[in-house]
Amino acid sequence: MTAPADAPDQDALAAEWEASIAGTEGGGEGDEQDDLAAEWEAMISDAEGGAGTAVDISTSVTGGGSTRVLNQDEIDSLLGFDDDHDSAGEKSGIQAILNSALVSYERLPMLEVVFDRLVRMMSTSMRNFTSDNVEVSLDNITSIRFGDYLNSIPLPAMLSVFKAEEWDNYGLITVDSSLIYSIVDVLLGGRRGTAAMRIEGRPYTTIERSLVERMIHVMLSDLSAAFEPLSPVTFRFDRLETNPRFATISRPSNAAIVTKLRIDMEDRGGRLELLLPYATLEPVRELLLQMFMGEKFGRDSIWETHLVEELWQTDVELEAVLDEQTMRLKDVFDLKVGSRIMLDATPDSTIELRCGEIPMYSGKMGRRGDSIAVRIDNRITQKPKE
């Protein structure tokens, strides 16, 4: 087979292109890439000095292309796991975007008041329950997604599911292992001064579950009493679980409020967490939005007394209605100057005293001196509307 006549020309052209590319890579193009990299590094250094942003980007030139590599600090800052922001209570990056959908409990002012009342009541009830010196403290109140909370529960633990009867929804109480063993040790007469024994790798016994269930009943009773001034509700114990997968009471993406309580019994104790989904609190959301004033859940006795005193001094305008006549609209438009409207009232007829549209008293009209007077005979009480 004979090669075409232009084959030598094609080989020569390919060799010429290869020589041109090799010369470009070894010559001015490489210098231009180095200059470009140096210019980028200078711009980044200026940005760091002016704005104070910690961004370290290492630029490497490989075969004419550049790659930008982020260090670990930049990755943490981008994802929102920066220690500086976490210590200040601020979220940044992707973490801030994810948490922006959560409703903060601080928008429900009365909720913190309810939990503060719960702590005070539990301090008394737990002392009566254990016959020991018990201190209950509130660590913090946070908003979290329900799925994230289940994944963060340290095992082993007991999870108690309870139902709010009037709100027709559920809540969750998590008791950690330290508190479980401490309660068992205290109720069964363990010696003081020794830490509760913790045995890993075995399921909880029937006695341990029964004692923890009794403690949960005490807490649910206090929780109902804490919500009583705001809205009457009954929290009923439903079941006790040790696997978080069986304690799913809400969708993983739904927001919930987690209240962390610390229970100390001298040298023993542990943590107890109360979770209430926002769906559970929805029936009383309007009540939880109230601003707390004073010590009586929204009521200030000083302001109430002042308001009552001012109301007693308020001027009220009363109208004495002699009689009323019902007429057709046609007759009203036919009225002219000099027309007469006949009323059924007589000097002895009973008249009605009204404040606005509300009838208040009935009596007789007469005269006292040069003034027209009304003698009140009865008080009119309105019937409640059905």
Q: Which CATH superfamily is domain 315-379 in?
A: SpoA-like (2.30.330.10)
Residue spans of the domains in the chain: they are 12-99, 105-288, 315-379
First and final C-alpha spacing in the chain: 110
**What are the structure tokens assigned to 386, written together?**
């059905």
Condensed to tens digits (0 to 9), the pLDDT of residues 21-35 reads 555 444 454 555 566
Instruction: Please tell me the CATH superfamily of domain 105-288, with its number.
Output: CheC-like (3.40.1550.10)
pTM: 0.52
Q: Which amino acid is at 281?
A: L
Note whether 105-288 and 315-379 share their fold: no
Non-local CB neighbours of 299 within 8 Å, separated by 6+ positions = 293
Minimum mean pLDDT range among 37-46, 67-76, 167-176, 319-328: 37-46
pLDDT over 90 at 368, yes or no: no
Q: Please indicate whether residue 36 or residue 168 has the higher confidence score (pLDDT).
A: 168
Q: Alpha carbon of 350 to those of 170, 322, 336, 356, 380: distances in Å?
A: 60, 8, 29, 19, 13
pLDDT of residue 184: 87
The amino acid sitting at 21 is: I
Whether 135 and 123 have beta carbons less than 8 Å apart is answered as yes
pLDDT digits (tens, 9 = 90+) for 116-163: 899 999 999 988 888 888 889 888 888 888 888 888 888 788 899 999
